Structure 1
């Protein structure tokens, strides 16, 4: 009797895993409730691993079922919990083909009054850290720059400090210029010549967008780098914490949070579909930095994972959370690389606490043979 119940329970878990994977692949603009099924996938995968252990102790023949599922779904498992304990970074690479890329949501360098600290310490420290960073390419989201000298212009003239002062080329994609000439948007800084640049707009109702540059490496290879910022859920961290901390908080906050979560899901699903169409037409080796505003078990992440290697899932260890706030275990900042690249290393800079996102650095080695075939 016990064995019969355990076997039926195992079949239910396997069906749960398959259903959750199917939910991950459903775009929210088609059926948004599927996103909640997708969020259960890490739990289903974890239970399946426990079933492997259970049946190996009880009956190895039945254990074959969860083992097969675990093997087939291992890439999905790695999305949420990367395991590469034996991976070591190679300090060398082919000259001109080894790239170090940094990505960071800089939260407009804390320029707003509610974000500022004494003597603008975090703003100055963040810009100085980026300016002195040894990365070959810097992709920055929620960028802010004051090209016209204002009271704090010497602090917030980020294009000059990170770009011209450090002999970097820059592409600033502006979504807004305010009354004093301050610029908001995203930016790419690089030591490599920029051959071509462009933006990908997601519509008139959002400032979120993507940008790209084609770069000429010292090896004479041309690569394309995308910098992406998908739609925010516009959900205040305090509201989320309040919604699950008490019954009263849930009643007051849940409906509004759900509505905002739905709007974000739908927007991101259409935005990532727009991007994928562009990726499929690109003939160069690609690197991508993205603030997805979504977790690894989402449609947006899944679409990118179908076309790219995720750097953390390829070489990282652990959950790889990048959100610097009260919500634990949240990885919404990612770097991706097309198949022409080998991912050598990936680091999350938790020692840099100046924004609500931790910066990330990836190291990539271009496969010469594959890069030649893409030309």
Structure 2
């Protein structure tokens, strides 16, 4: 009976990419359990193969039916094939949720900021997409927008400035480029005072126009009280019925809002007249509706060259890959890596790309 229950839950999780949380939100919670459900299926499969192989068919059938979701969650590549090309033959792309450079992490954030600047500079990105970005024009504050352009030799940029305080302090997402930007804009992904924008910049490299897309999708908006409650529940210190209700409500709202944002983002990408490089903190796993809706037929750089689960968020669970780089088939992914740094609660992800030399037809750019 337990095996049957796990099979049913696993198959329900595999339906999540096809069912918008705006229509049926409970299924989204199963996407967080996806790798654990898969682990249980493998356990049952091996166990039944040893004791009664006929019962193993149940788990095996479920795994085969869920193969699309499995191959989106796990990367199966050899490390030997993960090698970047020389700088003059490739484009180095970095995506990083910088958590405001530690603005609220400690009393004096300058040391965290300096370390983060050093980390970014060492990677020598040609294109850098940052989420949860903070900059200021106040005296004795950090003008990160200008400083990164100067220190990283990335002179071209576009910043969303979704939130500002007194016109001097700004928060949002930003795109930096070594290559000239010929067009840029932002697209509101949802309504409300706390909504952020999708931003894009069309760059020109060696005569090729490429559209860079960057976004930060809706988070759960957990506060410190929520994280403390989650920790107590995990440690079985508290049944947490009241806290659980609040946490579930926040997660429900986030799932619904992200699905609506994903519909907008997916449509925008498909309409692009140019090949795209899509970066962002999606706040959702590879088993989700959000992931599949935005990815479409694009290549996931991690799946092309990474290995394993590829965790990019340091909190909550060791299975959370929520930061992505997607690219059009027009590109070849030469290498992918993430840096396990504790400077932010997200790990930076970096992809080395080259152009295949095969220009797609106008109608087939980003299907």
Q: TM-score under structure 1 normalisation?
A: 0.85
Q: Measure, in 2, the Cα distance between the counterparts of 1:72 and 1:340.
A: 30
1:197 pairs with 174, 184, 187, which one?
Answer: 184
1:180–1:275 Cα change, 3 Å = closer
Specify the alignment match of 1:312 in structure 2: 302
Alignment partner, residue 358 of structure 1: 347
- How much does 1:275 deviate? 0.8
Q: Do the aligned partners of residues 243 and 192 (structure 1) sit closer, same or farther apart at CA in structure 2, a change above 3 Å counting?
A: same
The C-alpha deviation readout for 1:284-321, integer Å capped at 9, x for no partner, is 21111111112222211122343322222222112211
**Partner Cα separation in structure 2 for residue 177 and residue 127 of structure 1:** 23
| Unaligned 5+ runs, structure 1 | 1-7
1:92 pairs, out of 66, 85, 91, with 85
Match among 97, 101, 108 for residue 100 of structure 2: 108
Contact 2:185 2:201 in 1 (8 A): yes
8 Å contact from structure 1 (residues 310, 336) kept in 2: yes
Contact 2:154-2:176 within 8 A present in 1 as well = no
> Greater shift after overlay, 285-294 or 202-211?
202-211
C-alpha contact 1:284 1:371 (8 A) present in aligned 2: no
Give the alignment's TM-score, normalised by structure 2: 0.86
Give the C-alpha shift of residue 282 in structure 1: 1.3
Q: Which of 109, 126, 135 in structure 2 is aligned with 1:136?
A: 126
Residues 113-163 of structure 1 deviation map (CA, whole Å, 9 limit, x = unaligned): xx23557210222234334541110000011112x35123xxx11122111
Aligned partner of 1:271 among 248, 261, 273: 261
How many residues align? The count is 359
Mean Cα displacement is larger for which, 298-307 or 223-232?
Answer: 298-307
Tell me the CA shift for residue 253 of structure 1.
1.1
Q: 1:342 to 1:10 in 2, by over 3 A?
A: farther
Which residues of 2 match residues 53-92 of structure 1 at below 5 A?
A: 53-54=46-47, 57=50, 67=60, 70-71=63-64, 73-85=66-78, 87-92=80-85
Instruction: Name the CA distance, whole Å, in 1 between partners of 2:131 and 2:70.
Output: 28
1:216 aligns with 2:204: yes
Post-superposition Cα deviations, 1:19-70, rounded to whole Å, max 9, x if no partner, equal 3211342111111112124444334433443455456556778767755654
* 2:40 is the counterpart of 1:29: no
Q: Secondary structure at the match of 1:264?
A: helix
Contact 2:20 2:289 in 1 (8 A): yes
Q: 1: distance between equivalents of 2:14 and 2:84?
A: 37
